[in-house]
A = this chain, B = another copy of it.
Amino acid sequence: MSLKITNKQQVTELLDQYDYFIFDCDGVLWLGDHLLPHIPETLQMLKDKGKTVIFVTNNSTKSRNDYLHKFEKLGISGITKDEVFGSSYASAVYIDKILQLPKDKKVWVLGEAGIEQELHELGYKTVGGTDPKLVEDGVKFKPDHPLIDKLDPEVGAVLCGLTFNVNYLKLSITLQYLLQENKSLPFIATNIDSTFPVKGKLLIGAGSIIETVAFASGRQPDAICGKPNQAMMNAIKADNPGLQANPKKGLMVGDRLNTDMKFGRDGGLDTLLVLTGIETEENVLALAQDVAPTYYANKLGDLYEF
């Protein structure tokens, strides 16, 4: 059964117990463009106590630099790039370190600028993505569109994530690459969240867009880089030997049971669910012991307020 954080004594014990605090962003620190209460103070308190803070996000439309801008804009200062792990960055690292795709190969991107920027930083050229030629005709599609036939022979991997600017041309070109060379090009997903919560509504998530090209090609992604997949956790641990040696010194804080809490649990960390996102107290209390978070709280700011 999860312990609810309701008083100062609990917070003190929690701060004593953990050295690494890993935070999901949307639903924990902010909701869309609206900062949640006492977030800067909570983060500053953790840093003042010498804690390591790390931010993780499955939203691949933004790069780590974009996230730094967002932190600044919302009044959370002093965050550095090495404290931020996004699914776009995790995917670029996967392509570089695990796939070891040669740098003279290109990556076809179904997704937005966040993915492109992270790949470019690691020295890869991208095709697709935000290329304006792909949206010249808007939502209109002609089967004889020249780009359908002009596949780039230098493409060595296909990376798919969330795009709000999806059209039939982008989906169909992605399909061509997935079918090419007897379906042998690596197929990587930034994450497979089925929905994307915006202002209390569930919109189409990366996983649902990827499902289109997966179903059409008869393939499933060879790798999924976002939470709850451990690729991102392994990258975090590699940067933090203390966490690597003793995962129980780490606390994963998030608002989703099936991604954030699973991500922490699978990595051997303790977990704290906050109720500012999509889960409810009833959901938490109904969970079986083996999937219940270690703690839960009404909001992250309670750690500062208590």
Contacts and interface: CB of A to CB of B under 8 A. Distances in A.
Dominant SS among interface residues on chain A: mixed
B202 A208 contact: no
A167 interface: yes
A194 B143 CA distance: 16
A207 interface: yes
A166 interface: yes
Interface residues of A, number: 40
Interface string A132-152: 000100111101100011000
A216 B205 contact: yes
A172 interface: yes
B201 A176 contact: yes
A20 B133 CA distance: 49
Interface in A163-179: 163-168, 171-172, 175-176, 179
Interface of A: 32, 135, 138-141, 143-144, 148-149, 163-168, 171-172, 175-176, 179, 194-195, 198-199, 201-205, 207-209, 211-216, 218
